[in-house]
Structure 1
Amino acid sequence: MITDMTRGNPTKTLIAFTFPMLIGNLFQQLYNIVDSVVVGRYVGKNALAAVGSSFMLMNFFSFVIIGLCMGAAVVYSYYFGERNYSNLRKTIFISFSSIGIFTIVLSIILVFTTKGMLNLINTPEEIFLDSQKYLQTIFAGLIFVYLYNACSALLRSIGDSKTPLYFLILAAIINIVLDLLFVIVYDMGVFGVAFATVIAQGVSSILCLIYGLWKIEFIRLKKEDLVFDKGIFAMVSKFSFLTSIQQSIMTFGMVCVQGIVNTFGSDTIAAFTAAGKVDSIAYLPVQDFGNAFGTYVAQNKGAKKNDRIIQGVKSAIKTIIIFCLIMSIIIYMSSSSLMRIFVEASEVNVIKLGVEYLSIISVFYVLIGFLFMFYGFFRGIGELNISLILTIISLGTRVLMAYILSSIPSIAQRGIWWSVPIGWALADGIGFILYRRTKHKKLLIEEDSPKC
């Protein structure tokens, strides 16, 4: 179902568009969690640590690709809002072909450099081989990560957030079934978990592509669309590159943090892995809301309905505050029970460390909610450089403070946990200042098209 976000009540429009994205990403997180639960309970603590240690590297390169797709989606949304379907199709051709080639080359390089990357992040010897198997399998299947995200970004940019949900649910079901089959029945260990993920992503991505081409007539490429338009290529390149840099900086910061976590041993790695899964689900709705807000802003900018953008900001602030307060209370009160989902009750130290992490982070979810809103706003109006600056501030502060605070013996791991809200708070403060400056200068009113 295609949604025109240039009409109707902003709050209802944003929530209706966000909800399918949220459900889909919850399913995606579900099969990531199942990966952790299956290896943690049926293979062992070291296997859980191996998957957790690998997860940050996997995310880093996945988000490079996802960022490229998200950047192209801003241009899709603009041309859809403008009702310029010819340029929309040309953008689809240019972005799909260029990003696809990049993904294939990247995948080959990563498979052969996995060992060096694991050494670089101080991966402990007892989990090194499992981490290597897991990552090489995931890297070999990156083409499916690209294909699904390219198709879902296109569909969401034109207001269809439900169709990607259906294929993501299918992927989650396939992944869970294959996880249990490969690990419990065939004893394939962490390789089985990774292989199940690749198969699930492959099925969902191919089906999503077939659906888009079959069902939506105005995105079907015609002979005259298969051309290299320098202006469109420049626009797509800028938006995709800057968004990819933003996404990769976010995950690179997490890789750096993972390297610090790894120095504290397997218990801390396992706790950080399990608590991080809970944490990511807790603020996933505001992350999806921020992405939906970016689409909302871009469509309205293309339609030159700038008053709706300001209305959307006010609506977003209220929605984020309400939701984040609810999630903060839930996670804070149930942190111990949530940790026991991932590890046996006998792993007292792992549970203790995870509860400590969640008790600190959960109090500050509203800060990450506002940060995602700023990302969506600045991406939607074409000021991707500001989104990039905010990301650098947030992650740079987190890595620096994690390193400094964790090196103090009396603070240790708690320094890593406290570095998170410190980074969020600083980026939010600067984001608010830049938003006010942008609004007062009326940049979003004066711009008629995305900046090339």
Structure 2
Amino acid sequence: MRYSEKNIDMLTGSLYRSILFFTIPIALSSMLQQLFNAADTAIVGLFDTSSSLAAVGTNGEIIALIVALSSGLSVGVNVLVAQQIGQHKEQNIIPIIRTAMSLAVMIGVAGLIIGQCISAPLLGLIKTPSDILASSVLYLRIYFVSYPFLLLYDFGSAILRACGNSRYPFLALTLSGIVNVFLNIIFVVFFKLGVSGVAAATVLSTMLSALLLICRLKKDTSSFPFALHKCDLYSGSVSAILKVGIPSAIQGAVFCFANIFVQASVNSFGSSAIAGSTIAMNFEYFTYYVITAFGQTATTFTSQNYSAGQLRRCRKILRICLVFSIVSSLILIEPLVIFRNFFAGFFSADQTVIQNACLRILCILFFEPLCNLYEIPAGVLRGTGHSLYPAVATIIGNCCFRIVWIYTVFRHYHQLNILYYAFPISWVLTIILITIGFIAKKAR
């Protein structure tokens, strides 16, 4: 594989500079994506009806589940490629690329077909209000068409980042995001397509991002004869990818599955609560992606250095990522909390909706910096090949706890703020579990 001089060297030199310059494009990619998603929400909220906004919003956690499965599986690709670089076995990368992209197509097509079948039952399961059920199902079914292309983008992005190139995935996502907003304006404002227009814009822009990543991989490799009609699967690569990717995907999936229970509980308060929660979630994802960007950086840097036997450098990676991530998240979150009414007003003029958004901001977003204390150590553990324990700890702390909370404390009080407090409490529990596991692994 041909490496650019612009690719970041993770094994030598200043970690401060390398980590910062590697993370910035990852964070900006996710933040820009969330800004584009927020633009989708704003456009449908301002130029269509509040019911359309709620229809898009009630799919939020389901779509987060879809994205989590894709990004979780891509962690396996990232770690495997980074290990080959750390062990100076670059000749193994081409078969891994072929396997990864073929795997993305196969899983993506299967997900598309399954998605068409389960959209209506799933939205019914989370108690979607009857007045928005039909439009919610339409949105989700159209969105599922993008799943194969989402996987192609995530897997291709994971490969490039493992090689030290986090810039190109950012540029590809930026371009596709701009196209997404442009198409939203055309479909929703001019053609009055509502939720179907928003979903169609997402599908087309995701196709573009996948195409850009595939073109880049073809350019960076002298022998990459990948074609959608021909799947090259190498059993060793498949098992290695899935060994790390499946626990990460399960972690993200169960995490989102628990949040679907939360969404079902929010749905019981009506369309205004759903719309307000949707607005607040845009801010939560926007800031949380900065934290996860440093977690991804910790995984990639640790994977290369751990494979190269540089354990002291791995410990330094943990410290630097923690400090950078905590400071960055505080800088972003505090203004959103302080000026919450102002920012929520960009998405809706309905004061009831704005009040519901502000309630969620105070109960959840305010405490989100706590997530740094488990995301970064978990990223380091994944980089060393220990992806199972972080998955189990997160499932117990973040997922199981929230479901138990909903069926006990929330059932008794049935207030939105009581529901939302499940988030910061679950984060504290997850921090404790991850810390215990990290210390145990370090002792070994």
TM-score (norm 2): 0.94
Compute the displacement of 1:146 (Å): 1.2
Question: Is the 1:124–1:265 contact (alpha carbons within 8 Å) kept by the matching residues of 2?
Answer: yes
Question: Is the 1:79–1:87 contact (alpha carbons within 8 Å) kept by the matching residues of 2?
Answer: yes
Question: Is the 1:328–1:364 contact (alpha carbons within 8 Å) kept by the matching residues of 2?
Answer: no
Question: Is the 2:115–2:144 contact (alpha carbons within 8 Å) kept by the matching residues of 1?
Answer: yes
Question: Is the 2:23–2:166 contact (alpha carbons within 8 Å) kept by the matching residues of 1?
Answer: yes
- How is 1:157-236 mapped onto 2 (pairs within 5 angstroms)? 157-217=162-222, 220=224, 229-236=234-241
1:446 is aligned to none
1:424 is aligned to 427
Compute the displacement of 1:48 (Å): 0.7
2:329 is the counterpart of 1:329: no
**Superposed CA RMSD:** 1.8
1:259-317 superposed Cα distances (whole Å, 9 cap, x missing partner):
11111111111111100101111222111111111101111112221110011112122
1:370 is aligned to 373
1:67-86 superposed Cα distances (whole Å, 9 cap, x missing partner):
11222211111112222122
Q: 3-state DSSP class of the match of 1:329?
A: helix
2:49 is the counterpart of 1:44: yes
Residue number among 72, 88, 91 corresponding to 1:86 in the alignment:
91
Residue segments in structure 1 that go unaligned for 5+ positions in a row? 442-452
Residue number among 410, 413, 416 corresponding to 1:413 in the alignment:
416
Question: Is the 1:49–1:270 contact (alpha carbons within 8 Å) kept by the matching residues of 2?
Answer: yes
- 1:387 maps to a residue whose letter is P
Task: Output the CA distance in 2 between the equivalents of 1:21 and 1:396.
Answer: 29
Compute the displacement of 1:228 (Å): 5.4
1:384 is aligned to 387
Compute the displacement of 1:216 (Å): 4.2
Compute the displacement of 1:229 (Å): 4.5
Which segment drifts farther, 324-333 or 429-438? Answer: 324-333
1:400 is aligned to 404
Task: Output the CA distance in 2 between the equivalents of 1:325 and 1:197.
Answer: 30
Task: Output the CA distance in 2 between the equivalents of 1:81 and 1:368.
Answer: 29
1:355-405 superposed Cα distances (whole Å, 9 cap, x missing partner):
121122233222111221022111111111111112202222123224433
Task: Output the CA distance in 2 between the equivalents of 1:357 and 1:63.
Answer: 22
Question: Is the 2:374–2:435 contact (alpha carbons within 8 Å) kept by the matching residues of 1?
Answer: no
- How is 1:113-128 mapped onto 2 (pairs within 5 angstroms)? 113-128=118-133
Residue segments in structure 2 that go unaligned for 5+ positions in a row? 1-5
Question: Is the 2:276–2:356 contact (alpha carbons within 8 Å) kept by the matching residues of 1?
Answer: yes
Question: Is the 2:150–2:210 contact (alpha carbons within 8 Å) kept by the matching residues of 1?
Answer: yes
2:443 is aligned to 440
Compute the displacement of 1:95 (Å): 2.4
2:25 is the counterpart of 1:16: no
Question: Is the 1:114–1:132 contact (alpha carbons within 8 Å) kept by the matching residues of 2?
Answer: yes
2:157 is aligned to 152
Question: Is the 1:401–1:415 contact (alpha carbons within 8 Å) kept by the matching residues of 2?
Answer: no
Residue number among 351, 355, 359 corresponding to 2:358 in the alignment:
355
- 2:412 maps to a residue whose letter is I
1:313 is aligned to 318
Percent identical across equivalent pairs?
26
1:53-100 superposed Cα distances (whole Å, 9 cap, x missing partner):
012212212321221122221111111222212222222222222232
2:270 is aligned to 265
Task: Output the CA distance in 2 between the equivalents of 1:137 and 1:423.
Answer: 33
Task: Output the CA distance in 1 between the equivalents of 2:323 and 2:442.
Answer: 19
2:287 is the counterpart of 1:282: yes
Question: Is the 1:399–1:419 contact (alpha carbons within 8 Å) kept by the matching residues of 2?
Answer: no
Number of aligned positions between the proteins: 434
Compute the displacement of 1:179 (Å): 0.3
Residue number among 279, 282, 296 corresponding to 2:301 in the alignment:
296
